[in-house]
Structure 1
Amino acid sequence: MFKVIIEAWRFFPVKFDGILNKLARMIGNLSFAKIRVYKGLLKAFMRTRLRKECCRYSTASKIHNIGVLAHVDAGKTTTVERMLFYSGCTSSLGDVDKGSAVMDYLPMERERGITIKSAAIWFMWNGHRINFIDTPGHADFVFEVERALSVMNGAVVLLDAISGIEAQTVHVWRRASRWKLPRIIFINKMDRPDVDPAKIFTQVQRQFGVRLVPMQVPIFDNGSGANDRFCGLIDIISMEAFLWHPNSDGTVYTRQPLEAIPNKKQLKQAADARIHLVETLTEVDEALIDAFLNSGSNSLHIDSNILGQAVRRATLSNFLIPVFYGSSLKNIGIQLLLDAMVTYLPSSEERSNGKSLNFISTNYLELLETLSFIKDASKNLHKTENQSEDAPIKYRNISLMLNSLASSLKRKDISVFAIVFKVIVNRGIRYVYVAVHQGCLQKGQWLRLLRGGRVRVEKLRECIGGEAVLGSDSIHPRSFSGIGANNTGSPINRIDQGNWGIMISNDRIRTGDIFVDDSDINMSMDHTADVKIQTIFDGLIDSKTSGNAYLSLELPSPVVSIALEPIGAEATRSLPQVLSWLLDEDPSLRVDDNQGQILLSGIGELHIAAACDRLTNHFRLNIRTGSVQIQRREKILNEVVGQQTYHATMHKEIPVDVVVRLKPVDNPGKLNGIDNEIIIDECVTNEYKYLGIEKVEHACTAGVLAGLQSGPIKQLPISGAKVTVESINTYGITVTPSILGAAVRFAVLHVITTLPSQFVSIVEPIMYVVITLPRNEDIGNVIKDLTGLRQGKLISINNYSTDYHVLIAYIPLKHMLQYTT
Structure 2
Amino acid sequence: MSTDLTKIRNIGVIAHIDAGKTTTTERMLYVSGARHRAGEVDRGTTTTDDDAEEQERGITIYSACVQFPWKDVNINLIDTPGHVDFTAEVERSLRVLDGAVVVFSAREGVEAQSETVWRQANKYKVPRVAFINKLDREGANFENVFDEIENRLGAHPLALQIPAGLGPQHVADPFRGIVDLVTMKLLTFPEGKEGREIVAEDVPEELLPEAQLWREKLLETLYDYSNELMELALSEEPIPAALIHKVVREATIHLQVQPVLCGSALHGIGVQQVLDAVAAYLPHPLEMPPVVGTEPVVEGGKRKGAAEDTPPKKLVRKPDPAEPFCGLVFKILPFKTGDLYWVRVYSGEINPNSRVLNAGKNFKENVSQLWRIHATKKDEQLQHAQAGDIVALLGLRESVTGDTLCDTRAPIVLESIEFPETVISVAVEAENSTEKKKLGQMLEMLKKQDPTFRFEDNEETGQTLISGMGELHLEVIQHRLERDFGLKIKVHKPRVSYRETIAGPAVVTGECNRLINGAQHTAAVRLKVEPYTPSGPLAAKLPPVTVSIDPNHGLPNEFLCVVIEELESAIAGSGTLGFPLMRLKVTLLGGDVHETDATEIAFRTAANLAVDKGLREAGVVLLEPIMRLELSTPEEHVGDLVGDLQQRRAIIHKTELRGTDTVLHAEAPLANLFGYSSAMRSLSQGRASCSMAPSGYAPAPEEVLKVFLGED
Question: Could you say which TM-score interval applies, normalised by the shorter chain?
Answer: 0.7 to 0.9
Contact residue 182 and residue 318 of structure 1 kept, 8 A: yes
1:742/1:793 Cα in 2 relative to 1: closer, same or farther (>3 Å)? same
Q: How many Å separate the matches in 2 of 1:795 and 1:563?
A: 34
Summarize the Cα distance change of 1:245–1:782 in structure 2 as closer, same or farther, 3 Å threshold.
same
1:769 matched residue in structure 2? 629
C-alpha distance in 2, partners of 1:437/1:580? 29
Does structure 2 conserve the Cα–Cα contact (< 8 Å) formed by 1:232 and 1:244?
A: yes
Q: 2:617 is matched with which residue: 732, 746, 755? A: 755
Q: TM-score, normalised by structure 2?
A: 0.86
Amino acid aligned to 1:274: R
Which residue among 530, 540, 551 is the counterpart of 1:663? 530
Matched, 1:328 2:265: yes
Cα displacement string for residues 363-402 of structure 1 (whole angstroms, at most 9, x for unaligned residues): x77xx6xx78xxxxxxxx87xxxxxxxxxxxx98955699
Is 2:667 aligned against 1:807? no
Deviation at 1:77?
0.7
Residue of structure 1 equivalent to 2:247? 310
Q: Tell me the CA shift for residue 246 of structure 1.
A: 5.1
Worse-matched range after superposition: 409-418 or 743-752: 409-418
Residue 398 to residue 284, structure 1, CA distance change in 2 (3 Å) = closer
What does 1:671-682 correspond to in 2, within 5 Å? Answer: 676-679=544-547, 681=549
Task: Tell me whether 1:592 sits opposite 2:456 in the alignment.
Answer: yes
1:350 aligns with 2:292: no
Describe how 1:263-274 pairs up with structure 2 within 5 A.
263-274=204-215
Correspondence 1:170 to 2:60: no
8 Å CA contact retained: 2:520, 2:597: no
What is the match of residue 517 of structure 1? 407
Q: Is the 8 A contact 2:426 2:491 kept in 1?
A: yes
Q: Distance in 2 between matches of 1:58 and 1:514?
A: 23
Give 1:557's match in structure 2, choosing from 417, 421, 427: 421
Aligned equivalents of 2:392, 2:215: Cα separation in 1: 43
Q: Tell me what 1:484 maps to.
A: none
Amino acid at match of 2:365: V
Letter of the aligned partner of 2:500 in structure 1?
E
Letter in 2 for 1:200: V
Q: CA separation of 1:611/1:440 partners in 2, compared to 1, >3 Å: closer, same or farther?
A: same
Distance (whole Å) between structure 2 residues aligned to residue 402 and residue 446 of structure 1: 30
CA distance in 2, matches of 1:400, 1:729: 34
Matched residues in 1 for 2:541 and 2:256: separation? 34
Q: For 1:636 and 1:785, how far apart are their aligned partners in 2?
A: 32
Shift of residue 271, structure 1, vs aligned partner:
2.7
Structure having the larger proportion of residues in strand? 2
The whole-number CA distance in structure 2 between the counterparts of 1:402 and 1:127 is 51
Structure 1 residue 733: Cα displacement: 7.5
Residue 281 of structure 1, CA deviation = 0.6
Query: Structure 1's 438 and 196: CA in aligned 2 closer, same or farther, altered over 3 A?
Result: same
Aligned to 2:689: none
Does the 8 Å CA contact 1:195/1:225 hold for their aligned counterparts?
Answer: no
What are the within-5 Å matches in structure 2 for residues 100-111 of structure 1?
Answer: 100-111=45-56
What SS does structure 2 have at the residue aligned with 1:783? helix
Q: Give the aligned partner of residue 462 of structure 1.
A: 372
Q: Distance in 2 between matches of 1:496 and 1:401?
A: 35
Q: Show the counterpart of 1:297.
A: 236
* Cα distance in 1 between the residues matched to 2:310 and 2:611: 39
**1:790 lines up with 2:656 in the alignment:** no
Q: 1:638 aligns with which of 501, 504, 524?
A: 504
Partner-residue secondary structure (3-state), 1:511: coil
> Given the alignment of the two structures, is residue 251 of structure 1 paired with residue 170 of structure 2, yes or no?
no
Alpha-carbon separation, structure 2, partners of 1:428 and 1:326? 43
Give the residue type in structure 1 aligned to 2:350: L
SS in 1 for 2:182: coil
Letter in 2 for 1:489: D
**Alignment of 1:447 onto 2:447:** no
Residues 23-82 of structure 1: CA deviation (Å, up to 9, x unaligned): xxxxxxxxxxxxxxxxxxxxxxxxxxxxxxxxx684221111111111111011111111
Matches within 5 A, 1:130-529: 130-220=75-165, 226-245=171-190, 247-254=192-199, 256-258=200-202, 261=203, 263-293=204-234, 296-298=235-237, 301-351=238-288, 353-354=289-290, 356-357=291-292, 398-399=304-305, 406-407=312-313, 409=315, 415-426=324-335, 429-451=338-360, 452-466=362-376, 468=377, 488-521=378-411
CA RMSD after TM alignment: 3.4
* AA of the residue aligned to 1:281: L
Tell me whether 1:72 sits opposite 2:17 in the alignment: yes
Larger deviation, residues 595-604 vs 556-565? 595-604
2:490 to 597, 610, 624: 624
What does residue 695 of structure 2 align with? none
**Residues of 2 paired with 1:699 and 1:761: CA distance?**
23
Structure 1 residues 708-761: Cα deviation after superposition (integer angstroms, max 9, x where no partner): x142xx554433222345556664779998876555434322332x326xx322
Change (3 A) 1:341 1:521: closer
Distance 1:737 1:83, change over 3 A: farther
Equivalent residue number for residue 611 of structure 1: 477
> Would the aligned equivalents of 1:564 and 1:625 in 2 still touch at CA under 8 Å?
yes
Q: CA deviation at 1:226?
A: 4.8
Pair 238,454 (structure 1): closer, same or farther in 2 beyond 3 Å = same
Do the aligned partners of residues 224 and 521 (structure 1) sit closer, same or farther apart at CA in structure 2, a change above 3 Å counting? Answer: closer
Deviations 1:509-545 (A, max 9, x none): 11111122111159xxxxxxxxxxxxxxxxxxxxxxx
Return the alpha-carbon distance in structure 2 between the equivalents of residues 804 and 403 of structure 1. 59
Deviations 1:272-318 (A, max 9, x none): 3222211211122112224435xx415xx311111111111111122
Q: Which moved more, 1:594-603 or 1:115-124?
A: 594-603
Other structure's SS at 1:765 match: strand
The answer to whether 1:703 aligns with 2:570 is yes
Residues 478-511 of structure 1, C-alpha deviation per residue, up to 9 Å, x if partnerless?
Answer: xxxxxxxxxx311112221111000112411111
Deviations 1:252-275 (A, max 9, x none): 232x231xx5x3121333333222
Distance 2:627 2:643 in 1: 17
- Kept in 2, the 8 Å contact 1:405–1:521? The answer is no
- 8 Å Cα contact 1:701/1:741 also seen in 2: no
CA distance in 2, matches of 1:397, 1:109: 46
CA distance 1:396–1:562, shift in 2 (3 Å): closer
Superposed CA offset, 1:391-434 (max 9, x none) = xxxx9895569999943626879622211111113458221111
| Structure 1 contact 429–504 (Cα < 8 Å) conserved | yes
Q: CA deviation at 1:180?
A: 1.9
| Count, aligned residues | 669
**Aligned residues of 2:357 and 2:408 also touching (Cα < 8 A):** yes
Equivalent residues of 1:640, 1:662 under 8 A apart: yes
Match of 2:230, SS? helix
Displacement, 1:191? 1.1
- The one-letter code of the counterpart of 1:676 is P
Deviations 1:173-198 (A, max 9, x none): 12211222211110000111342322
Q: Unaligned stretches of 5+ in structure 1? A: 1-55, 373-380, 383-394, 469-487, 523-548
Q: Distance in 1 between matches of 2:302 and 2:242?
A: 59
TM-score, length-normalised on structure 1?
0.75
| 2:434 aligned partner, one-letter code | E
Q: Structure 2: how far apart are the matches of 1:191 and 1:513?
A: 44
Q: 1:681 to 1:456 in 2, by over 3 A?
A: farther
Matched residue SS, 1:181:
coil
Amino acid at match of 2:433: A
1:674 and 1:404 map into 2 onto residues whose CA distance is 20
Counterpart of 1:124 (choices 60, 69, 78) is 69
- Higher normalized helix content (fraction of residues): 1
The amino acid of 2:626's aligned partner reads I
